[in-house]
Each structure stands twice: as C-alpha cells, then as structure tokens.
Chain A
Amino acid sequence: MMDHDPNDIDHYLDGGKDNFDPNPGQPQENEFGTLADGAVIQAEKNWATRNRDAIAQAMWEDYQQALQERES
C-alpha cells in the first residue's frame, strides 16, 4: 500500500484522530474492560477468595432450601 499509493492509508487511519492518547502512560479503559497492569497482588487474591466463599455459602443455603422444598 505504501509503495503504490501512500495516500490510500489515510482511508484507514480515520484522519489520525484515534492516535491521540489523552492519558499517556495510564491504563486505557473502554467498554470491554481493562488490561492488567501487573501481577495479581495478595489483596486482590484475598478479596476474590472471600467473594468465592460468599458465593459458595449463598449457593449452599439455596441448595438446602431447595432440598427442603423437594422433601416437604
């Protein structure tokens, strides 16, 4: 493309508007979420573990209730 028609690439660059980074060096957020900015820290693991325990506990209580409904 650059050999035969260097101007043709302008059709794909959207006028260069998307090349501007308003927060250089900062993680970019969009509707699809963000990328990681490093290894998972212990605090995040602890939170996720507590969250999993909460899910498991709520799931267990609902399961016990469903069993009672089925047996009654």
Chain B
Amino acid sequence: MPGVDDPISSYISGQRRFTPWFNNAIGGMDGTHINSCPSAADRHASHNHKGGVSQNCLACVSFTMRFLYFLSGWEGSAADAAMYTHSHLVDLTIPPGKFYLVDAGFWICDSLLVPYHGVHYHLAEWGHANTQCALYIYIQVSIFISPNIRPANREELFNLRHASARNVVEQVFGVLKKCWGILNLTTTI
C-alpha cells in the first residue's frame, strides 16, 4: 500500500498539466463489473444497471498501472461508493493528505478527488469535434488548440485533466479483461 512519504509519481510530476495539482494523488479508483454466476436466490441482487448479471469489483490502481487494492464479490447492483465506504472502514487505508482520482459515482471527501458534476468532460467533446472535422484535422493538427474547443472555464479544464489522469484505471481494466477473456464471458445456465 502507498505510504505517507512515497515520492510523487513520475507520471504526474513529468507533465505540466498534472503537476502540482495532482501531486498527492496515489492513483485512480473505480468499480468494474465482472460476470458472475450467482445462485437463483441471489441473482436479483446481481443485476447491474445494464441488465446483465455480474459482480461489482472495486480497484485502486497506481499511475504505474499496478493494482494497489482490489475488492471483489459484491453484487452487480452495488454502487461503487458503497464498496469504497465499506473498504475504507475495513481494510483500505489512505495516508493523510493523499487521495485517489475517482469518477462522479463517488462523493467528494478528503481521500477522493471527484470531478465537477454536470460539467461535460472535454475529452468527449473533442472526440465529437474530431468526428465531424476529421478532414480538417489532417489539414490543421492545431485543431486541438482551437478556441472553439478549448475548455471554457475552470470546471471544464479541471474535469478534462482529471479524466486524463484518472484514465489509467480504465486502461488497467481494459488490459485485465483483454488478457483474461473469461472475465467478459456471459453467464449461461
């Protein structure tokens, strides 16, 4: 587990868009659904928000793509925030002054840095702009700094950089499920 005196991750300190604001970030935290095969009696609680049957798992990942904590076996209907609350009461320690980057499914507190609610992630807006202006990108790569798609305020900028830094946890989930396809298999009974 990360300690109080651990050095700042080079992933953070090496990028001006992240440092010094995320210097105390340990990594990213998120929940991920893994298919499961519960008993008939428990199956109703295992239905996730997409209608499938799964277990919800909570993972903490460092910026070097290493798992720091993993909680598995919760019903698919369990909220990420509920798993975090349980873990932080039982065995997930977080050094004072340190925090994890999390998505809007968690609530803000000393140990979790949450994006602004109701503020669009600019990454998505850029993706939309890129789809519409694919030809233009070939002509002018500087579209990424076009005034039309710059963050318009501090909240948008914060969410953009927050999502970018937190993306490591999504990458790890992607790698995990690509390596072990059984995690993605749909339950057949």
Contact = CB atoms under 8 A, between A and B. Distances in A.
Interface of A: 30-40, 44-45, 47-49, 52, 55-60, 63, 66-67, 70
Interface stretch (B48-56, B132-140, B153-161): B153-161
A46 to B, nearest CB: 9
B69 to A, nearest CB: 11
B162 to A, nearest CB: 9
B105 interface: no
B27 to A, nearest CB: 14
A23 to B, nearest CB: 16
Contact of B89 (A36, A45, A52): A36
Given A33-B4, A39-B85, A70-B145, 13 more contacts: A30-B93, A33-B98, A35-B89, A35-B91, A35-B93, A37-B89, A44-B109, A44-B110, A48-B112, A56-B158, A59-B157, A60-B153, A63-B151
B103 to A, nearest CB: 14
B21 interface: yes
Contacts of A70: 145
Contact of B1 (A32, A37, A59): A32
Interface in B67-125: 85, 88-96, 98, 107-110, 112-114, 116
B3 A45 contact: no
A40 B91 CA distance: 17
Contact of B108 (A32, A39, A49, A56): A49
Give the residue among A39, A55, A70 with the most B Cβ atoms within 10 A.
A55
A36 B112 CA distance: 13
A35 B4 contact: no
A35 B88 CA distance: 5
A29 B112 CA distance: 19
Contacts of B90: 35
27 contacts: A30-B93, A31-B4, A32-B4, A32-B95, A33-B93, A33-B96, A33-B98, A35-B91, A35-B92, A35-B93, A39-B85, A40-B107, A44-B109, A45-B109, A48-B108, A49-B108, A52-B114, A52-B116, A55-B21, A55-B113, A55-B158, A56-B154, A56-B158, A57-B154, A59-B21, A60-B153, A60-B158
